[in-house]
Amino acid sequence: MRSGESGSAWGSLVFGLASVVAVPVAVFLTRFSDSYDLLHAGLVIPVTVALGIVALVLARRARRQAALALSDQSGRGVVAAAGRILAIVGLCVAASALIALGVFGLLEYVGSRD
C-alpha cells in the first residue's frame, strides 16, 4: 500500500468533518465577539461548500483506489465511505444555513416595508 492511497481516504474524512463543523463553530464564535454578529457567520457557507466538495472528490478517489486493489486490508473503503457521508452532511448544513439566511433576509425586507 502506498501512502497516497490511504491519504485520500483520510483526507476525505478530515475535510468531511471540517465541512460539518464549520458553520456551527462560526455561529458559536460569534457569541464571544462584539464586532461580529450572527449574520457574519454566514460568510463561512462558501467555505463549508468547498470543504464538502473536496471531501467528496477525495472519497471518490479513495473508493476507486480501494476497488482497484486486490484486498482492502487498510480499511480505506470504510474511511472513504465515512468521509463521503460527512461531506454530504456538511453540504446539507451549508444548504440549511443558506435557507436560514434567505428567510431572515426576506423577513427583514417585509418588516422594513411597514
pLDDT at 4: 53
Do residues 55 and 87 make contact, with C-beta atoms less than 8 angstroms apart? yes
- pTM for the structure as a whole: 0.85
Do residues 15 and 87 make contact, with C-beta atoms less than 8 angstroms apart? yes
Residue 104: closest CA among 36, 39, 49: 39
Looking at the chain, the number of H-run helices and the number of E-run strands are 3, 0
pLDDT average per 10 residues of sequence, the chain (114 residues):
69 96 94 88 95 96 82 76 96 96 92 80
Its sign, for the CA torsion 40, 41, 44, 46, is negative
How many of the other CB atoms lie within 10 Å of CB of 38? 13
